[in-house]
Amino acid sequence: CLQGVKTNYEIDIFKPLVGDMRKAFKVGLTAQSNKINCIADHIRAVVFAIGDGVLPSNESRGYVIRKLIRRASWYAQEMGHKKPFLYKLVSRVCEAMKEPYPELLDRRENISGIIRAEEERFMKSIKEGGSILDEEIANLKKQNKKIIPGKDRKSTRLNSSHIPLSRMPSSA
């Protein structure tokens, strides 16, 4: 049993980060735990990757980093944060890891800026995707249709926005 706790999210490296998120999201110990743990895990991985020079992109390792940021951002939005939030966690991760990885402290402002920029791009994509979806739904209603065709230009634009449409509320 690691440090006498049940999960790695309770160890000294994660506990302050998880605690900060619980306060920010105003949730207790069990409410939203999976989402908070996912955000904690993702932000830790992203901080290290960006610190090592991997930037969010559409290719290779950068794509993985982009997806981690966007999933964590999506969860933060589901819990009420409608503005960039993840970048605020960078300092906590760097502080927790300063002894074994002191170089993270030197890079934290840069890392934070990169994460914030990616969060802003994702939020813009969500807003644009929501508008496209609302427009498409309105057009389909006028035609008494209930299914969005999968092979038209609008569906392609929605898919390329990388938004989890199955969970996206209309007018996001």
The answer to whether the beta carbons of residues 56 and 118 sit under 8 Å apart is: yes
CA-to-CA distance for 59 and 93, rounded, in angstroms?
25
The two tokens of residue 48 are 């290290």
To 10 degrees, what angle do helices 103-142 and 33-51 make? Answer: 120
Report the pLDDT value the prediction gives residue 29, as an integer from 0 to 100. 65
What is residue 172's predicted lDDT score, i.e. its pLDDT?
Answer: 38
- Looking from the CA of 101 toward its CB, the CA atoms found within 13 Å total 17
Q: What's the rounded Cα separation, in Å, for the pair 86 and 119?
A: 8
Rounded to 10 degrees, the C-alpha dihedral 145/151/155/161 comes to 160
pLDDT of residue 43: 95
pLDDT score for 88? 94
Tell me how far apart the alpha carbons of residues 68 and 45 are, in angstroms, rounded to a whole number: 8
pLDDT at 170: 43
pLDDT tens, position by position, for the chain (172 residues)?
Answer: 567 777 777 777 778 888 888 888 887 766 678 899 899 999 999 999 999 999 999 999 999 999 999 999 999 998 888 899 999 999 999 999 999 999 999 999 999 999 999 999 999 988 888 888 888 888 889 999 888 776 665 655 555 555 555 544 444 3
* Whole-number Å distance between alpha carbons of 10 and 5: 6
pTM of the full structure: 0.81
Longest dimension (CA), the chain: 63
Alpha helices in the chain (DSSP H): 15-25, 33-51, 60-78, 90-96, 103-142, 153-160
